[in-house]
């Protein structure tokens, strides 16, 4: 009887989806879509917003950044004041909600190479990075991984 109860508890606990919060506690309410954020950025330098997507990868060294697929686009997300980190592994493909500041920024060659090294890119791939990139950036204040 004890074994049956134990097995049922294991099955029930594996069926529940765990949610983890990182940084500030945020809500899944009022999630924007990326095209509307990009449109709003044409009129202002930066906006506070909440977005969602699927995690493509996280920094395997510290969990200090993540790449997220949001519809047809990919965002590179860093965390406010280097104040929190996300898991380094086992989160690829998971749903994520993140709240923070969206803005356009120039990413230097040195920073691009640093992130490529963190991601485990080959020496050849890293050496091909020769230009600064002006792109949409995001600093998250809080993250929910489901």
pLDDT digits (tens, 9 = 90+) for 72-119: 899 999 999 999 999 999 999 999 999 999 999 999 999 999 999 988
Among 7-21, 37-51, 79-93, where is mean pLDDT lowest? 7-21
Does this model's pTM top 0.85? My answer is: no
N residues, the chain? 146
Both tokens of 50, joined, read: 């909440």
Of 126, 142, 129, 135, the residue nearest 29 (C-alpha): 142
What are the φ/ψ torsions at residue 59 (nearest 5 degrees)?
-60, 120
What angle (nearest 5°) sits at the alpha carbon of residue 81, between those of residues 25 and 128? 115
- For residue 11, the model assigns a pLDDT of 52
- In the predicted model, is pLDDT for residue 39 greater than 70? yes
**Domain extent listing, the chain:** 18-145
CATH value of 18-145 in 1.25.40, 3.40.50, 2.40.50, 2.30.30? 2.40.50
Both tokens of 68, joined, read: 């997220």
């Amino acid at each position: 009887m004890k074994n049956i109860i134990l097995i049922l508890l294991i099955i029930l606990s594996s069926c529940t989806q765990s949610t983890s919060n990182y940084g500030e506690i945020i809500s899944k309410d009022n999630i924007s879509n990326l095209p509307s954020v990009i449109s709003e950025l044409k009129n202002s330098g930066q906006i506070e917003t909440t977005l969602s997507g699927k995690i493509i990868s996280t920094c395997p060294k510290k969990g200090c950044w993540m790449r997220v697929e949001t519809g047809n686009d990919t965002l590179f997300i860093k965390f406010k004041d280097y104040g929190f980190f996300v898991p380094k592994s086992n989160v690829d493909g998971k749903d994520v909600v993140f709240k923070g500041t969206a803005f356009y920024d120039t990413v230097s060659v040195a920073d691009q190479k640093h992130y490529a090294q963190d991601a485990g890119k080959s020496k050849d791939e890293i050496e091909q990075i020769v230009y600064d990139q002006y792109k949409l950036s995001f600093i998250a204040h809080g993250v929910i991984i489901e």
